[in-house]
Amino acid sequence: MSTTPVVPSFTKVFGLQRVYFKAAVMFGALPTASSAYILAVRMGGEGKLVASLIAANTAAAMLTLPFWLVVVLG
């Protein structure tokens, strides 16, 4: 399955060069930083909720990151 035509079409839409678009997609596919938990707790937020969201986001990233690698690297 080749997804190479997808990347050039999106680069035109967003006005990015191909390498910058690939970097943006890969950064978007990464999980939330665990430092968000520390910030939430220190600012009086829901620490347990943030920890749960970070865990779910990390698990989802483990499952979807290979897909995004295929899309971006073609």
pLDDT tens figures, 13-68: 778 787 888 888 888 888 888 899 999 999 999 999 999 999 999 999 999 988 88
Task: Answer for the pair 54, 36: CB distance below 8 angstroms, yes or no.
Answer: yes
Residues 18 and 7: beta-carbon distance below 8 Å: yes
Give pTM, 2 decimals.
Answer: 0.68
Q: How confident is the model at residue 3 (pLDDT cuts 50, 70, 90)?
A: very low
- Other Cβ atoms closer than 10 A to 3: 12
Question: In the predicted model, is pLDDT for residue 1 greater than 50?
Answer: no
Measure CA 4 to chain center: 19
